[in-house]
A and B are shown apart, each in its own frame.
Chain A
Amino acid sequence: MKFNSWFFSSFLVSFIVLIPIITVFASFFESTSNYYEILKNTFLFEYISNSLILLLSVLLLTFVIGTGAAYLVSFYKFPGSEFFKWSLILSFAVPPYIYAYSLTAFFENYGTAFTILKSLLGDANYNKNIPKFDGMFGVILSISFSLYAYVYILARASFLYQSQNLIDLGKNLGFSRFKSFYKVILPAARPAIVAGLSLVAMETLAEFGAVDFFSINTLTTGIYNSWIYFDDLAFANRISFFLLLFIFSLFILENLSRKRAKYHINSKGGFKQKEKIKLFGFDAYLAFVFCFFIFFVSFLFPLCQMLYWTVKFPENLFDLQITNLVLNTLYLVTLSSLVLIIFSLISNYGNRVSNNKFLNFLSTLSISGYAIPGVILAIAFITFIAWFDDSIIKSLGFSSIKKLFIGSIFGLVLVYFIRFYSLAFNGIKSGYEKMNISVDESAYLLGYSKRKTFTNIHIPFLRNSLLFIIILISLEIIRELPITLILRPFNFETFATTAYISASEDLLEAAAVPSLFLILIASLFIIVTSKYILRENNE
């Protein structure tokens, strides 16, 4: 094994990403305050059962919505099908916590629904007739309508790769349209759907904003509460341990299903492009209604609600320091993207030129950061820095380094790096996978050094992938809440934290403006990248 610069840089990246996991596992054996005993006998069961109920319900709902919509737009032509194809991913622009604010704002007593009914039907007490979407049901809806796009995108990509031969085979065996769907199409797309559901599961277990807003006690909010209200980092880490075990089993499941997915992608040979079936009459109407309902509920509804409140309470628009928020967001996005891209390029290129199995293993470990909830990452990071500062830095006689890492841009970007490293790494990796290794070898044989091959051949080839990754990272950072909330410097706000703070102070009208901006900026990013996300070039 060669201990060259590629090895050390990859090792360093992996080590940084593994810090939170090691911290959580190490903290499991530390003593905690009485709060642990109290909680263990009272709420711990509730945390676990709530997390499970939430997880299963969200999985069921995202499966139905995501797979159903993907099936319709992939196999059929109906009014609006071309529009729905990309517009159904706009729900990504609405994080679950903003969806939760919209849901409450619309259905609460004297809320938007009440105002609409009053203006249409006159004065009356409509409150008792308006359903209330709060509590567990509200959380399930908020997360499902925000995250179903994971299932939609992956299922659609898989449906897209299904050859007409497969459909013809079903017809040849005398299957009805429905039987073809569940006997042929669905099993072939199973790995992709499972991969999508695994992502949804990880995000659901990590979800903080919406769960906190509806006051549902889950493992994630338990971690946050034990840290913020009881100042018990050890206990926060102990709950994290349980949650991480749970997430790692999902992570393994997701990885396994992805490996299988490779076998389901058709090569060009023998692939026959599908002819979309044109729907008429009632069938076309039903398909349109289904897709429009999802698009309306997941995107238009929260957008309109936030827009309505922004117009209704314009003073909030002027109170908000929009320039500051935009600059702060831009600052975080630029810095994080730069760091992520540079390190991911180094790791990927190192893996490519050294072809070292140990380095590959390290890289696989280092992409696990995405599976760890932001809350755990942030708290584990604080725990580690506190330990490192107390046990090593101070004992060596140096002054404290806490301020450098906690409540600083540097610390914030470092934890973003851990969280989103897998996005950048995998994005570049998939770009590299499209380039045969003989391309590198050809360059060497044309007299190019390794550095020149990297700058003159690799970078131009990866240009589009890099652009896509930067936009994806930006989208994630704009929406990110718990890490920013916990680690941001004093008085440093983003659209997400401003919306959260207003909402947690019961000032939902004030939360509308930053939420609206967040949705609009995120939508813009999604529209720009929708071509990449949906892999239109393969269609």
Chain B
Amino acid sequence: MSKNFFEIKNVDFKVGNKVKVKNVSFSIEKEGEIICLLGPSGIGKTTILRTIAGLEKIDNGSIKLDGKTLSSEKINIEPENRNVSLAFQENSLFPHYTVKKNILLGSERNKGNKKKQINIEELIGLLDISQILNKYPHEISAGEAQRASLARSLITKPDLLLLDEPLSNVDQSFKEEIQEKLKKILTNLKITTIIVTHDSYEAFYLGSKCGIILNQELKQFDDPYNVYHLPNSVEVVNFLNRGILIPAEVTSPKSLESKDLGTITGNFVKPFPIGSNVKLLIQPEDLQHDDKSNLKLHVVDRKFRGTNFIYTLRASSNTLIPVFVHSHHIHQHEIDEKFGIKRPIHIDHIVCF
């Protein structure tokens, strides 16, 4: 018998008769863990949450929570009987009730169950919604509505909490603070949570595991570090927009040769036979600036990103290579100038496809 707290096995996620994501399997080992699902808009992330919540049915595979089957080909527990809470991305507060009444409706679910109670005042304080409690949903901003909706979901202290883009409408300046608070609440209360987001940094911060959904498939489900540094497919690389793929030839178990960058050494994440032609992932932080180097590339563009610059360099084969440089770096290059790359090039994790 599976020991996982939550488990999805071989499920096709559908809306009506249209399959959105095929043959998905992943699990959450321990109660209280947070995982994040990442993917572009319209890919089916919300469908996955809706199905877990019981709002959509499945025809194959199974969804289990704490050893109990919630959905399968034959079983479908109604949403109201799952104790699974879903906070929608759009404003789904009851429009004819105040924010306070909306939140209190959430608390009705586990009335009498002291273990399941959450201190409302504390929650209101943490989410900073005290000033909107007596307002109606149409009188508050989208960000406030999301926080109120989050409070309503949390107050039920569900067995599984599903958050659909929970902070998409929250102001950027306030986002990090809320992320920290959210993580603290979820961890303290030991609420197992699945968060859907398109913001990779949010996912990497909140989730102990991240799933990447692309082209109707769960492409990768792994620790945030591995997803970031060790993407398992070209699609994941492209989705995370982490760098570029350049052609290279494997010359030894620890090196490659590239026409544009010369010899590159490091540890292969996945071994390739010597002599095979591969596509090597170059991420902006893999290369270092050094004007004394004889490897010089042309600056095509320079983006100022506050703490750093990202230079786009043109190699001899016309490939565009991104390089990350700290913004306090002494020598800055203008467009069309030459930019030196430190040699020998060493990359800790060599990712090739």
A-side interface residues toward B, CB under 8 Å? 434-436, 438-439, 441-449, 457, 460-461
Contact A445 B86 (CB under 8 A): yes
Shortest 7 CB-CB distances between A and B: which pairs? A438-B92, A444-B79, A447-B109, A461-B96, A442-B92, A438-B88, A444-B80
Contact of B94 among A439, A444, A447 (CB under 8 A): A439
Q: What are the residues of chain B within 8 A of A449 when measuring CB–CB?
A: 80
A-B contact pairs, 26 of them (CB 8 A): A436-B90, A436-B91, A436-B92, A439-B93, A439-B94, A441-B79, A441-B86, A441-B88, A441-B92, A442-B149, A442-B152, A444-B79, A445-B80, A445-B82, A445-B85, A445-B86, A446-B80, A446-B85, A446-B106, A446-B108, A446-B109, A446-B152, A448-B80, A457-B94, A460-B96, A461-B96
Contacts of A443 in B (CB 8 A): 94
> Inside 8 A of A457's CB, which chain B residues have their CB?
94
B55 in contact (CB, < 8 A): yes
What 0/1 readout, one digit per residue, does chain B (338-350) give for beta carbons within 8 Å of chain A? 0000000000000
How far is B92's CA from A436's CA once the two chains are assembled, in angstroms? 7
- Docked-complex contact A438 and B94, CB < 8 angstroms: no
Q: How far is the CB of B82 from chain A (nearest CB, A)?
A: 8
Given contacts A441-B55, A446-B109, contact A461 B94 (CB under 8 A): yes
Q: Considering only CB atoms, which chain A residue lies closest to B78 in the complex? A: A444
Query: Are A444 and B106 interface neighbours, CB within 8 A?
Result: no
Query: Residue of A at shortest CB range from B102?
Result: A442
Instruction: Check A442/B88 contact, CB under 8 A, given A435-B95, A460-B96.
Output: yes
Residues of B within 8 A of A (CB-CB), count: 29
Whether A445 pairs with B94 at a CB distance below 8 angstroms is: no
The reply to whether B95 and A461 form a contact with Cβ atoms under 8 Å apart is yes
Most buried by A among B105, B106, B152: B105
A448 vs B80: C-alpha distance when bound (angstroms) = 6
List chain A residues, Cβ under 8 A from B85. 445-446
* Residue from B94, B95, B149 having most chain A Cβ neighbours under 10 A: B94
Give chain A nearest CB distance to B331 CB in angstroms.
Answer: 46
Q: Which chain B residues border A445 with CB–CB below 8 Å? A: 53, 79-80, 82, 84-86, 153
**Is the C-beta of B156 less than 8 angstroms from some C-beta in chain A?**
yes
Scan residues 193-217 of chain B and give those whose CB is less than 8 A from a CB of chain A: none
- Residues of B contacting A438 with CB < 8 Å? 88, 90, 92
Contacts of B84 in A (CB 8 A): 445
Query: Nearest Cβ distance between residue B15 and chain A, in whole angstroms?
Result: 12
User: Given the complex, which residues of A lie within 8 Å of B108, measured CB to CB?
Assistant: 446-447
Q: How far, in angstroms, from A449 to B54 measured CA to CA in the complex?
A: 13
Residue of B nearest to A436 (CB): B92
Q: Is the CB of B94 within 8 A of A442?
A: yes
A122 CA to B96 CA, complexed, in Å: 65
Rounded to whole angstroms, the CA-CA distance of A449 and B79 in the bound complex is 9
Distance between B275 CB and nearest chain A CB, rounded to angstroms: 56
Return chain A residues, CB-CB under 8 Å to B152.
442, 446
Measured in the bound complex, the distance between the Cα atoms of B41 and A371 in whole Å is 44
Residues of B contacting A461 in the complex (Cβ-Cβ under 8 angstroms): 94-96
Please name 12 further chain A to chain B contacts, defined as beta carbons within 8 Å, in addition to the given A441-B55, A443-B94, A444-B55, sorted by A numbering. Answer: A441-B79, A441-B92, A442-B86, A442-B92, A442-B93, A445-B80, A446-B80, A446-B105, A447-B80, A447-B109, A447-B156, A461-B95
Among residues of A, the one whose C-beta sits closest to the C-beta of B83 is: A447
Q: Which residues of A contact B93 (CB under 8 A)?
A: 439, 442
What residues of B have a CB within 8 angstroms of the CB of A436 in the complex?
90-92
Minimum CB–CB distance for B183 against chain A, Å: 22
Residues 69-86 of chain B, each 1 if its beta carbon lies under 8 Å from chain A, else 0: 000000000111111111
In the bound assembly, the distance between CA atoms of A449 and B78 in angstroms comes to 9
Given A445-B86, A447-B109, does the pair A439, B79 have CB atoms closer than 8 Å? Answer: no
Q: How far is the CA of A457 from the CA of B106 in the complex (A)?
A: 13
- The closest CB in chain A to the CB of B109 belongs to A447
Residues 325 to 343 of chain B near chain A (Cβ within 8 Å)? none
Complex alpha-carbon distance, A445 and B156, angstroms: 10
For A439, give its contact among B92, B153, B156 (CB under 8 Å): B92
Looking at A435, A438, A445, A447, the one whose CB has the most chain B CB atoms below 10 A away is A445
Instruction: Give Cα A307 to B312, complex, Å.
Output: 87
Among residues of B, the one whose C-beta sits closest to the C-beta of A452 is: B80
Nearest to A437 among chain B residues (CB) is B92
Report the separation of the CA atoms of residues A443 and B95 in the bound assembly, to the nearest whole angstrom.
12
Q: How far is the CA of A460 from the CA of B96 in the complex (A)?
A: 8
Instruction: Quote the shortest CB–CB distance from A428 to chain B (angstroms).
Output: 15
Q: How far is the CA of A446 from the CA of B92 in the complex (A)?
A: 12
A462 to chain B, nearest CB (A): 9
Looking at A435, A441, A449, A461, the one whose CB has the most chain B CB atoms below 10 A away is: A441
**Chain B: CB-nearest residue to A441:** B55
Which residues of chain B are near A442, meaning CB under 8 Å? 86, 88, 92-94, 149, 152
Task: Report the bound CA distance from A444 to B79 in whole Å.
Answer: 6
C-alpha gap A285/B92 in the complex (Å): 50
Which residues of B84-135 are within 8 A (CB) of A? 84-86, 88, 90-96, 105-106, 108-109
B288-347 CB contacts (< 8 Å) to partner A: none
Residues of the A chain whose Cβ atoms lie less than 8 Å from the Cβ of B88: 438, 441-442
- Chain B residues contacting A435 (CB-CB under 8 Å) are 95
A439 and B138 alpha carbons, distance in the complex (Å): 14
Nearest residue (CB) in A for B50 is A441
B80/A439 in contact, CB under 8 A: no
Q: A453 → chain B, closest Cβ, in Å?
A: 9
Roughly how many angstroms separate A351 CA and B219 CA in the complex, as a whole number? 38
**Contact partners of B50 in chain A: CB under 8 A:** 441
Give Cα A460 to B80, complex, Å: 20
The answer for the CA separation of A446 and B54 in the assembled complex, in Å, is 12
Are A434's CB and B80's CB within 8 A? no
Chain B residue nearest to A434 (CB atoms) is B95
Q: Which residue of A lies closest to B89 (CB)?
A: A438
Task: Find chain B residues with CB under 8 A from A446 CB.
Answer: 80, 85, 105-106, 108-109, 152, 156
Bound together, the chains give a CA A446 to CA B152 distance in angstroms of: 9
Q: For the complex, what is the distance from the CA of A438 to the CA of B93, rounded to whole Å?
A: 9
Please give, as numbers and ranges, the residues of chain A lying within 8 Å of B83 by CB-CB distance.
Answer: 447
Q: How far is the CA of A443 from the CA of B85 in the complex (A)?
A: 10
CB distance from B203 to the nearest CB of A (A): 23
Question: Which residue of chain A has the shortest Cβ distance to B149 in the bound complex?
Answer: A442
CA A436 to CA B105, docked complex, whole Å: 18
Shortest CB-to-CB span from B313 to chain A, Å, is: 41
Which residues of chain A are within 8 angstroms of B82 by Cβ–Cβ distance? Answer: 445
| B156 CB → nearest A CB, Å | 6
B79 proximity list for chain A (CB < 8 A): 441, 444-445
Q: Give the distance to chain A from B139, nearest Cβ to Cβ, in Å.
A: 13
Contacts of B91 in A (CB 8 A): 436
The answer for the CA separation of A446 and B106 in the assembled complex, in Å, is: 6
Cβ of B111 to closest chain A Cβ, rounded Å: 10
Contacts of A441 in B (CB 8 A): 50, 53, 55, 79, 86, 88, 92
From residue A356, how far is it (CB to closest CB) to chain B in Å? 12
Cα separation A439 to B105 with both chains bound (whole Å): 13
CA distance A492 to B92 in the complex (A): 50
Tell me the minimal C-beta distance from B89 to chain A in angstroms: 9
B122-178 interface with A by 8 A CB criterion = 149, 152-153, 156
**Chain B, 20-48, CB within 8 A of any chain A CB:** none
Q: How many whole Å from B154's CB to the nearest CB in chain A?
A: 12
Q: In the docked arrangement, what's the CA distance between A457 and B94, Å?
A: 8
- How distant is the Cα of A449 from the Cα of B55 in the complex, in angstroms? 13
Complex Cα–Cα for A434 and B96 (A): 11
**Does the CB pair A439–B86 fall under 8 Å?**
no
